[in-house]
Structure 1
Amino acid sequence: MTQTATPIESHPPKIMGRSRRLPFNQRAVFDQIFHSGGGFVLDFSDRTMAEWFDENFGLSIFQERFQMEGSSKGKTLRGFVEAAEPRLVAQILRALWQYRRALNGYAETDPSEEARLEAWLEQFTHELENASSMNLDDALKDFSRDTTLPKLRASIAADLVAEKPDVALDRVHTYCVKRFRDLLASRNQPVDATTPLHAIFGTFGKALRDEGAVSEFALPTLRVQHKLFEGLNQARNKRSFAHDNELLPVSEAQFIIDCVLASLAFIERIEAARERETTGRDDEILF
């Protein structure tokens, strides 16, 4: 009796490359979608392309960092795909697809070919989102029933994905104040509403030390975080939208926020372990 082989479910090959997000062998599909192979992009002129990116995303598309291969519209768009925050790239490519669908004469005449391109783009944007290095979900939590918290987190995430860390700086500070006050309250150590962020963190750091929650190897680094949050406090007061200030340069704001997010993600792992010890659960490994 001959058995029929069960078909193996195959997954489409990954689009993103190891060294480039849009490798050479995938460019033809990308250019077919956005009509960008000859240096053009859909029906845009230089002016209307700049306006579309600015009006819809507050982004200056013709930046030098996006023009590593040239300054044409097509090369600039592909450079943007390579250089910008992956989640932002995914958002914009999906919006460009919707813009393309509204145009006459840019969709494929064969519906099956149009469906193939749409599936390719959906896979590519999904891969881009998964490639993002920002650990927002690990660092920013809905830790209480404070109804402003989800809006605060969403606002921070939107600006960070849009590569506007200078704009997000004051709200990152607000989140940190809320989080460390909550963590101290859970230890029956409430702090005064006027206490600055770095002092709040200093009290929290001492609590971690006294609890033995951090080993002798990580404790010196944790102590340094006091200076990090002092710097965030100063930047918030003097170089953010918290007051009528000149904003911090984007690269410096991003550096501060990257450090803060890494610190918050570590603290959340500590708190998760503490909660497991309190509840007797042990279904997750801290390190």
Structure 2
Amino acid sequence: MAEISFIEKGNIENLLGMKSGYVLDFSDRTFRDFVGEMTGLDIDNEIYHFASNSKANRLRQFLKIETNDNAGKLLKGFCDYWLSKAQNGDFDYRNDEKHYLECLKISERLRGNIVENIDAIKANWEDKDFVILAKEIRGSIEKNQPEVALDRLHTFVMKYTRQLCDKHSIGYSKDEALHSIFGKYLKFIISTGKLESEMSQRILKTSISNLDSFNDIRNNKSFAHDNCILNYEESVLIFNNVSNMIKFLETFEDKLSKSSDSKKTDWDDLKF
């Protein structure tokens, strides 16, 4: 069953005009064709029959019994269709923009792809605070609320970067800014000679300036202080940038550890 809250259902109903029994401007035939194209499922199947069996009621039943992924794909399709019609003047964009944006967020959450590599946001060391921090951040993403967790994401990246520096005996001061500490760690990465392309170095170097900007987001656009928080779309962008970077660093550190273990094994195998 698709996990859609009462309030979310209200936004979907309002955007699609379902109170009348219809779904946007679809006829029975085009409604069936559209659902089939978006999900590969037949909306006329008797498993979706409900009450008067209107298009709206069949859609309600679909959202009730189908998986999050199928519901999310169909809702994303409706959002794209609505936007194209609104841009042509067929629907009132200004009147329903709020419902459209909310439905878009719902579809992203249901499809489970709000943030790429969200699994990288985890406690990489045995640290109670780290565990709690990672859990709270992931909880906000699961609730489709990335904007409310920006301050905790910044704290996570700070803790993560410091522990990487500790692991490799890289010195830093207690009050040093995140981007500065990361810059020191990046120098270590480059010094290992394990990066195979100049482009990888360039991408990682841009992370220094990105994290410098993240300091400003944390201080002025998050709940770290009494701020007006950043909008949803840019919050998702920041989360994706950070999670992808951490995922790469995880992979790099793993390869580095295996390389180090291999050298130790070779040395241990020597016979004197």
Residue matched to 1:25: 42
1:152 equivalent in alignment to 2:142: no
- Are the equivalent residues in 1 in contact too, given 2:121–2:138 (CA < 8 A)? no
Select the structure that is richer in helix: 2
2:182 is matched with which residue: 193, 201, 219?
201
1:248 corresponds in structure 2 to 230
For residue 270 of structure 2, what is the aligned residue in structure 1? none
* Structure 2 residue corresponding to 1:227, chosen from 209, 234, 237: 209
RMSD: 3.6
Are 2:56 and 1:39 equivalent residues in the alignment? yes
Sequence identity of aligned pairs in percent? 22
Asked if the contact 1:228–1:260 (Cα under 8 Å) also holds between the matched residues in 2, the reply is no
Partners of 2:207 and 2:131 in 1: CA distance: 25
**Structure 2 SS opposite 1:84:** helix
Q: Following the alignment from structure 1 to structure 2, what is the Cα–Cα distance between the partners of residues 170 and 162?
A: 16
Kept in 1, the 8 Å contact 2:115–2:236? The answer is: no
SS in 1 for 2:199: coil
Residue type of the partner of 1:150?
Answer: V
Distance across 2 between alignment mates of 1:168 and 1:180: 18
In the TM superposition, 1:117-128 aligns within 5 A as 128=111
Does the residue aligned with 1:213 lie in a helix, a strand or coil? coil
Q: What is the CA-CA distance between 1:142 and the residue it aligns to? A: 2.1
Distance change (3 Å), C-alpha of 1:254 and 1:269: same
How far residue 141 of structure 1 moved from its aligned partner, in angstroms, is 3.0
Judge conservation of contact 2:151–2:218 (CA < 8 Å) in 1. yes
Change (3 A) 1:175 1:30: farther
Structure 2 residue runs without a partner (length 5+): 1-34, 62-74, 86-90, 93-98, 264-272
* Aligned position for 1:173: 154
| Equivalent residue number for residue 267 of structure 1 | 249
Q: 1:52-104 CA distances to partner (integer Å, 9 max, x unpaired)?
A: xxxxxxxxx9xx95983999xxxx9xx95x86355x42xxxxxxxxxxxxxxx
Structure 1 unpaired stretches of 5+: 1-16, 43-60, 90-127, 282-287
TM normalised by structure 2 equals 0.61
Kindly tell me the number of residue pairs found equivalent between the two proteins: 197
- 1:240 deviates by 0.1
Counterpart AA for 1:167: V
| Distance verdict in 2 for CA 1:214–1:239, change over 3 Å | same
Q: How do residues 90-101 of structure 1 correspond to structure 2 at under 5 angstroms?
A: none
**Partner Cα distance (1:208, 1:166) in 2:** 31
Code of the residue aligned with 1:211 in structure 2: it is T
- Specify the SS of the correspondent of 2:139: helix
Deviation at 1:192, TM superposition (A): 2.0
Q: Is the 8 A contact 1:85 1:163 kept in 2?
A: no
Q: CA deviation at 1:219?
A: 0.7
Contact 1:66 1:83 in 2 (8 A): no
2:173 is matched by which residue type in structure 1? D
* Superposition TM-score, scaled by structure 1 size: 0.58
